[in-house]
Amino acid sequence: MTNTLILDGKAVAQARRAILREKVAEFTKTKGRAPGLAVVIVGHDPASQIYVKNKIKACAEAGIESFHLEKPATLTQADLHKAIDELNARTDVDGILVQLPLPKHLNETEALERIRGEKDPDGLTSANLGLLFSGRTRVAPCTPFGVMKIFEHYKIDVAGKNAVVIGRSNIVGKPMAQLLLQANATVTMAHSKTHDLEAVTREADIVVVAVGQRHLLGKSAFKKGVVIADVGMHRGEKGLCGDVRLDELHGWAQAMTPVPGGVGPMTIQMLLENTFRLAGGKI
């Protein structure tokens, strides 16, 4: 094996957005309105501001109407709940996203649970996670859903393969394992407390790394011909990097996502697609 296939999430997202744009235009013509996504941002976290700006831009590209609600960092929990309740009641809003992290005095779990499951494009309410885990998915969490769509685009069949998911968050790790199981992979979940992590990952055909530790794993952690999805995102001296030392894997891995330009663009794309689904659209 000489060449490693780079799983270009940015290109996949662009291709899917072009298809979504056509479907949204048809939906808008039929329904008399565009699907609507409301983003609530509390305070002025610089990274959050950038994320929200990117989401608004992505909505415009897809033809989805975006509603941007910016609230002061002093906002109370009660007022945050009131804002979410008002969006729950609006007929022009199909998806509600509360941008995380929230200021420390606010309870993120309570805020997310305030969103009606029918308007949760992140797929992170207990209602939607419960549907996912019971095999009756309404919408799947955006990042793991995006990883699966990258695999699908590049015709990487996970059925019957040994897959290791490193990380156990509700945002990535747990739903990632569930989606792989539903696609008939044999799944092992690992995490930062796993004993001899590299011994576990070396047995895997597919590894999804979402542990949140910069450059945690390198070539010694993977067998030749592995497929790697690196969900990590860290800002370093040389720019953005992931949880995997990807420069060591060229010519060793069968395929891998780059950082940046891998999983990240797909997370926003799946948010748009989930919003369209919640509006009643079919993809």
Residues classed as catalytic: 55, 99, 122
CA 191 from centroid of its chain's CA atoms: 19
Q: Vertex 50, ends 129 and 214: CA angle to 5°?
A: 70
- The whole-angstrom distance between residue 84's C-alpha and the CA centroid of its chain comes to 22
HSE at residue 98, side-chain half, CA atoms within 13 A, is 29
Q: 125 CB contacts (<8 Å, ≥6 apart)? A: 112, 113, 115, 116, 117
